[in-house]
Every structure is written in C-alpha cells, then in structure tokens.
Structure 1
Amino acid sequence: MIVITTPTGNIGSRVLAQVLESSQPVRVVVRDQEKLPAEVRDRAEVVEGSHGDADVVARALEDADALFWLCPPDRQAADAVAAFTGFTRPAAEILRGQGVRRVVSISSLGRHTPYADRAGLGTGALAMDDLIAGTGVAFRALALPGFMDNLLRQKEMLKEQGLFSGAFSGDRRHPAVAVRDIAAVAARLLLDPTWTGQEEIPLLGPEDLSHEDMAGIATEALGRPVRYQQVPMPAYRDRLLNSGMSEGIAQSMVDLITANENGLYQGVTRTPQHAIDTPTTFRQWCEDTLEPAVRSA
C-alpha cells in the first residue's frame, strides 16, 4: 500500500496520477474527499482528514509500505520550524512502530551550507526531515530549489502588464525545477521497493537562471516583452502581512529569500544526473505551461 498526502496539491496530484498508473494499491489522505476527481475516489482508498492529526495518520498508515509526505503551508504558524515539526510529529511517532518501510518527503536544498539554520521555511523543512529520519525508516528527502510553476501565480500580471515581480535580485542565478519533474522522481521512488537507508536527493533542474534570464526566455515564449521587477524586502514583507500571513511566517519567507541570495541553493554541484532526473528546461516549461496559462488568464 502506497499512501499519498496532499493528493489535490500541485505536486501531490501529479504523484498520485503517476502512482495510479501502476498496479499498486493506493491510499490518499485528504481534508475534503469531494475535491478529489471521481476517478481517483473510484481507484484509491480515501482517508478523510488532516495528515497532521494523529488519529487520521494512524488510519492512513495501517498496513502501508510507502508514504509520500508533504507538509502543507500554515500561514498562521508562529514560525517555520514549529509549522513543519509540529505538523509532522504525530506521523513520526506512528512511523516508529507502524511498519512503514519507505518515506519520500518534499524538502529544501541548503542542508550543507552555512545558511541552513537561518533559512526560514528552508530551516523548517530540514527540521522536518530530521524528525522523519529519526524514526529509522528508509527515507528519501527531495531537496528542492524554487519551482518554475510559482510563476503561474502571476499569470494575470504577465498578461496585463508583461511583468512579474519578487524580492530576489534580478541578476543572481539560482536553480529552478518544474513540478512535473519533482512528481516523476517521487513516484518512481514510491514504486521502487528495493531502496534502503536514508539519503537527500537534490533536484536542481537542468540550469541556473536569474530572474532577468527568465524574463528574456519568457519574452520569446510568450511573443511579447516581459520584464522582472524586484520588490524591496520591506515592501515584500508588508505584502505578505497584508495578505494575512503571520509575523513569524512572513519573516520565514524573508529569511528564506535572504539565505538564497547568500547561497543557500548553491551547496550542491550540478551533475549530468540532475538533468536526467529533472530534464524540463525553463524555456520548455514556458512554451508548454506558462504560455497557455497566460493566454487563457
């Protein structure tokens, strides 16, 4: 039995779709099963509730062999470490005695850099991994940089103004990965019963790009001028607070960006394997995902 959390999310839904193509039995944990497509409810066992709840996760992990773990965002948490570890702790306690053999988590790059302990949300994700690893289960933490797909949040602004914005500097290059590649690696691991031990798997995408590089590529893919606008950090933090985010999580976002600017995502050297595991280039993603999304926005 493979258990998948966040089955309606951007990553979880893609993991679920690929795992359902196999002959393995699948169980999903979802707050509201009506949000699942009918074909998923027909093919997968459903446990309704939050996977941060001990009773729910105990039912979900009964007789399970593998678990896909993604901690959902908590915009009102006191801080990032509390958000990640508090949500994960009930599952970790159950993993110790439940017999689950393998866990795959969605985590962050940066463990082997000087910024790992002051990277906000990244620090929280790494603390979550430590909690899971401490159970002794076979474990693969997918260590991720920024997602290309985050740009879809600004598709209306791209269409109306030819603009996307953020707090990152425009000229510093970072790795970026497509969500579909993350899901493909996660599904492959969940379906492979042979691996053991504990390991971090960095998924870097095929290239490092600055936001100005991305604007140039998006210009060509969309057939119209696109530019990137950096938002000053105080204004960015105010934007987060005005959206309803807690002080602690807003600061965690600021800390993550600051650590990234200082090299949080630069602690792993890209190898040919990274291009094999995460082959989608930003240009390809813009052409087949961003362009139709902006056109229909």
Structure 2
Amino acid sequence: MIVVTAPTGNIGSRVLADIADGSRPVRAIVRDPAKIPADLRERCEVVPGSHSDPTVLARAFDGADTVFWLVPPDPRAASVDEAYSGFARPAVEAIRTHGVRRVVSVSALGRGTASAERAGHVTATLAMDDLIADTGVAFRALANPTFMDNLLRQTAVLKEQGAFYDILPPDYAAPTACTRDIAAVAARLLVDPLWTGREDVPVLGPEDLTPNEEAAILSDVLGTSVKYQQVPVSTLGAQVLAHGHSEAMAQSMMDMMTAKLNHLDEDVVRTPQHAVETPTTFRQWCEEVLKPAVDQA
C-alpha cells in the first residue's frame, strides 16, 4: 500500500495520477475528497482529513509500506519549525507505530552547505527530513531547486508589464525544475520496492539558466519583449507580509532567498543523468504551461 499526502497540489496530484494505475493499492489523505478528480477517486482509497492529524494518519498508515510525504504551505505559522517539523511529528510517530518501510519526501537542495545553516524554509525542511529518517525507514529526499512553476504567480505581470521579478542577479546561472518532473521522480521511487537506506536525490532539471537567459526564452515563446528585474530580498519580504504571511514565515522566506544568493543550490555537480530523469527544459515548460496561463491572465 502506497499513501500519498497533499494529493491535490501541483506535485501530489501528478504523483497520484502516475501511481494509481491499479498495479499497487493506493491511499490518498485529503481534506476535501471532492478536489480529487472522480476518475482518480475510483482508483484509490480516500482518507478524509489532514495528514497532521494522528487519527487520520492511523487510518491511512495501517497496512501501508510506502509514503509520499509533502508538507502543505502554512504562511501564517507562528514559526518555520512549527510549519515543518511540528506538522510532521504525528506522522513520525505513525511511521514507527505502523511499520512504514519507505518514505519519499519533497525536500530542497543545500544539505551540508554553510548556506543551509540559516536558510529559512530550506533549513526547516532538512530538519524535518532528519526527523523522518531517524525513524529508521528507507528514506529518499527529493532535493529540489527553485520551481519553474513559481513563475505562474507572475502571469499578470508578464502580460501587462512584459517583465518578471526575482532576487537573483541577471547573470546568475541556477538550476530550476518543473513540478511534473519532480512528481515523475517521486512516482518512480514509490513503485520501486527494492531501495534501502537514506539518500538525497538531486532534482536539477536539464540546464542552469540565468534570469537574462530566461527573459530571452520568454520573449521568444510569448512573442513579446520580456525583461528581467532584480529586486531586493526585503522587497519580497514586504510583499509576502502584505499577502498575509506571519512575520516569522516572511523572515524565513527572506532567509531562504538570501541563502540562494549565497550559492545554496550550487553544491551538486550536474551530470547527464539529471537531464534524463528531469528532462523538461525551461523553453518546453514555457510553451506548454506558462504561455497558456499568460494568454488567459
């Protein structure tokens, strides 16, 4: 039995669709079962509720050997530790109680780097990974860079201003990955019963690009001039505070972005295998995902 958490998000929904093919029994923990498409609900067992609830976890993990673990965002949390490790602690107990053997977690790049020591969301994610792995399960942490899909938050700006904004310098080359590739890596691990031990699985996408290179691709794909504008980390913090983040979570976001400026995502050496496992280029993602969203903005 494979348990999928957060099955209605960008990653979890694709994971569920990929593995609910009848070859293995699947359970999905979800607050609102109606948000799972009807055809998928017919192919899996649905456990209503939150995967921070011990009662829900007891039902979902009973007889399960493998878990896909993803913490939903909590922008109003009182602390970043509470948002990650606090949310996961009931699952840690349930893993021990019910004898779960394998866990695949959505995580972040940076483990072992100096930048990760104060990297906000990333530091908290890595600490949560340690809590889960310390149960003794076989554990795979999908170590992700920035998501391409984050640009979907700027579709209106792209359409109206011909611009997009981030904190990286214009000539700073960094990896990005799209959520559908991340989900595909997770799905392959979830249906493979043979792996053991603990490993980070870097998910780098096929290429490193600078924001200026991304702007050139966006201009070509969207058929209009697109420029990149670097903004201070403090501007990002003010924006998320204005959108309802707690002060603690806004500070955590700024700490993460500062760590990315300090080379958080550069510790893993890219190999040809990364392009095989996560093949979607930024151009392909823009053509297939971003452009339709911008057209409809």
Cα distance between partner residues in 2 of 1:172 and 1:254: 18
Cα offset, 1:246, TM superposition:
0.4
Cα distance between partner residues in 1 of 2:54 and 2:168: 38
Other-structure match for 1:184: 184
Other-structure match for 2:174: 174
Other-structure match for 1:260: 260
1:151 aligns with 2:163: no
Contact kept? 1:115, 1:264, Cα under 8 Å: yes
Cα distance between partner residues in 2 of 1:135 and 1:116: 23
**Deviations 1:112-146 (CA, angstroms, capped at 9, x unpaired):** 21111100000011011000100000110000000
Secondary structure class of the residue paired with 1:10: coil
Cα offset, 1:276, TM superposition:
1.0
Contact kept? 2:233, 2:258, Cα under 8 Å: no
Cα distance between partner residues in 1 of 2:75 and 2:41: 29
Return the letter of the residue paired with 1:7: P
Cα offset, 1:110, TM superposition:
0.2
Cα distance between partner residues in 2 of 1:230 and 1:79: 28
Other-structure match for 1:24: 24
Cα distance between partner residues in 2 of 1:72 and 1:168: 25
Q: Which moved more, 1:121-130 or 1:30-39?
A: 30-39
Cα distance between partner residues in 2 of 1:260 and 1:208: 14
Contact kept? 2:211, 2:228, Cα under 8 Å: yes
Secondary structure class of the residue paired with 1:212: helix
Contact kept? 1:140, 1:201, Cα under 8 Å: yes
Return the letter of the residue paired with 2:291: E
Other-structure match for 1:280: 280
Cα distance between partner residues in 1 of 2:120 and 2:244: 18
Return the letter of the residue paired with 2:54: A
Secondary structure class of the residue paired with 1:142: strand
Cα offset, 1:171, TM superposition:
2.1
1:101 aligns with 2:135: no
Return the letter of the residue paired with 1:281: T
Contact kept? 1:84, 1:125, Cα under 8 Å: yes
Secondary structure class of the residue paired with 1:285: helix
Other-structure match for 1:236: 236
1:129 aligns with 2:122: no
Secondary structure class of the residue paired with 1:151: helix
TM-score, normalised with respect to structure 2? 0.97
Contact kept? 1:177, 1:203, Cα under 8 Å: yes
Contact kept? 1:49, 1:56, Cα under 8 Å: yes
Return the letter of the residue paired with 1:23: S
Aligned-pair identity in percent equals 59
Q: 1:224 to 1:22 in 2, by over 3 A?
A: farther
Cα distance between partner residues in 2 of 1:34 and 1:207: 37
Cα offset, 1:22, TM superposition:
4.4
Return the letter of the residue paired with 1:113: T
User: Unpaired runs of 5+ in structure 2?
Assistant: none
Structure 1 runs of 4+ off > 3 angstroms? Answer: none
TM-score, normalised with respect to structure 1? 0.97
Cα distance between partner residues in 2 of 1:236 and 1:203: 25
1:217 aligns with 2:221: no
Return the letter of the residue paired with 1:215: A
Cα distance between partner residues in 2 of 1:134 and 1:163: 45
Cα distance between partner residues in 2 of 1:237 and 1:101: 39
**Deviations 1:137-161 (CA, angstroms, capped at 9, x unpaired):** 0110000000011111111111122
Cα distance between partner residues in 2 of 1:107 and 1:171: 26
Cα offset, 1:79, TM superposition:
2.4
Cα distance between partner residues in 2 of 1:219 and 1:51: 41
Return the letter of the residue paired with 1:89: R
Other-structure match for 1:193: 193
Secondary structure class of the residue paired with 2:11: helix
User: Unpaired runs of 5+ in structure 1?
Assistant: none
